[in-house]
Amino acid sequence: MDFKLSEEQLMIRQAARDFAQQELLPGVIERDENQTFPHEAIKKMGELGFMGMMVDPKYGGSGMDTVSYVLAMEEISKIDASASVVMSVNNSLVCWGLQKFGTEEQKEKYLIDLATGKKLGAFCLSEPEAGSDATSQKTTAIEKGDHYLLNGTKNWITNGGSADVYLVIAQTHIEKKHKGINAFIIEKGWEGFEIGPKENKLGIRGSDTHSLQFNDVKIPKENRIGEDGFGFKFAMKTLAGGRIGIASQALGIASGAYELALKYSKQRKAFGTEICNHQAIAFKLADMAVEIEAARHLCIKAAWEKDQGMNYDLSGAMAKLYASKVAMDTTIEAVQIHGGNGYVKEYHVERLMRDAKITQIYEGTSEIQKIVISRSILND
Ligand code: CAA
């Protein structure tokens, strides 16, 4: 067994680290406060190849492996989890699904622009009454000759306002339940497609989350992804990979908070010495270090399994469940180590603590991950 990262993987990690320090750190507090989308940074991430990391170069991607994607996601998330969710959705939920299941025409028309970062994608599954219970889709896409008519509402859509291309899951044959669901490619600006107001969120405030409304939106037949009725499986397979992205985001939030806490504990003095010399603090740092390393191993293992062509449903769910818990626990402790300073914005850890929470909610709550994990181990 070889735990050593390749030269290329190390270079990608370093490039992401440098980019995050130089381009994302400046202004991250203000973007969080004002809910400002990092347009410029996302554009540069596209130019650096971070928006279509696993896409084949013939479709404008970087042709990297999933392990490299995890490494880059960790580095970007350490500094700005709002930027990293934009990156994760575009890479895992949009580009990956289009590359894997799209037609040649769909790839030419949409994937190239998405992978190069010229355009941004969104993945639209959740509804007011279908978040975790994803089979209960109320949005309908009914066949009308050469097109489908799309009607319904989607909720909590990441990149909802800033995306150009939307993958929308909808029910076509209601009587067939989840086997009647389809996935479609929709473009911003199509008649009948309205974007609702931006959600005012606890964390990842630099990313934009919206509800979407579809009123008789006409979708050309060639914009359906896969065979008729493939939509639910498309969503599940796509989300299985998406969970590796969010697990890596959680890992980055945790390791970012840990690095800040470690540095602070070596500078801040109390009771005549640096606070890291008190076991109360040193033991917290020890726990954080172990948990983060374990989360990193789970993330890289899931990514490696994906790269090997193995099934990664279980490892991806485990990585997300554990890394998101570590993100929550670590950021709370990082605030604690910072004391009063941890509670104010300048020290970054309060933002990381707020950002951590969403990793236990989106792309499947922790409870959903436990469903996936328990079903997998019980059926083994
Ligand atoms: N790969 C392929 N197929 C899969 C699959 C997978 N990983 N998981 C399930 N399926 C298939 C099953 O095999 C089954 O197919 P058949 O009927 O042909 O056998 C079908 O899908 C239905 O599966 P289940 O019976 O297991 O369905 P369920 O209703 O019990 O739900 C669930 C399973 C895991 C709970 C699923 O509903 C789920 O993952 N829910 C969470 C959805 C989610 O993550 N929502 C978050 C929204 S996206 C988001 O957050 C994006 C963003 O903007 C950041």
Residue 186's pLDDT is 98
User: In angstroms, rounded to a whole number, what is the distance separating the alpha carbons of residues 225 and 103?
Assistant: 8
50 confidence band (pLDDT: 50, 70, 90)? very high
Share above pLDDT 70 across residues of the chain, in percent, rounded to a whole number:
100
Q: Is the CB of 98 under 6 A from ligand 1?
A: no
Query: Is 143 part of the annotated catalytic residue set?
Result: no
* Cα 249 to ligand 1 centroid, rounded to whole Å: 21
- For 133, phi then psi, to 5°, come to -85, 75
Average pLDDT (296-318) is 98
Question: Token pair for residue 10?
Answer: 């190390």
Question: Token pair for residue 275?
Answer: 């606070």
Residue 1's pLDDT is 82
Structure confidence by residue, pLDDT tens digits, 347-379: 999 999 999 999 999 999 999 999 999 999 999
The yes-or-no verdict on residue 286 having pLDDT over 90 is yes
* Cα 170 to ligand 1 centroid, rounded to whole Å: 14
Give nearest CA residue, ligand 1 atom 8: 236
Average pLDDT (248-273) is 98
Q: Is the CB of 94 under 6 A from ligand 1?
A: no
* Cα 2 to ligand 1 centroid, rounded to whole Å: 33
Mean pLDDT value across the chain: 97
Average pLDDT (46-52) is 98
User: Could you tell me which of 131, 110, 136, 4 has the C-alpha nearest to residue 52?
Assistant: 110
Q: Is the CB of 91 under 6 A from ligand 1?
A: no
Residue 380's pLDDT is 74
The yes-or-no verdict on residue 2 having pLDDT over 90 is no
247 confidence band (pLDDT: 50, 70, 90)? very high
Structure confidence by residue, pLDDT tens digits, 91-103: 999 999 999 999 9
Structure confidence by residue, pLDDT tens digits, 166-222: 999 999 999 999 999 999 999 999 999 999 999 999 999 999 999 999 999 999 999
Residue 110's pLDDT is 98
Q: Is the CB of 134 under 6 A from ligand 1?
A: yes
Residue 131's pLDDT is 85
- For the CA of 133, the nearest atom of ligand 1: 37
Structure confidence by residue, pLDDT tens digits, 21-44: 999 999 999 999 999 999 999 999
Average pLDDT (63-86) is 98
* Cα 86 to ligand 1 centroid, rounded to whole Å: 22
Query: Which of 137, 173, 236 gets mutated to test ligand 1 (max ligand atoms within 8 A of its CB)?
Result: 236
Whether 103 and 131 have beta carbons less than 8 Å apart is answered as no
Q: Where are the alpha helices (DSSP H) in 308-343?
A: 313-338
- Residue environment code for 131-161, b if the CB has 16+ CB neighbours within 10 A, otherwise e: beebeebebbbeeeeebbbbbbbbbbbbbbb
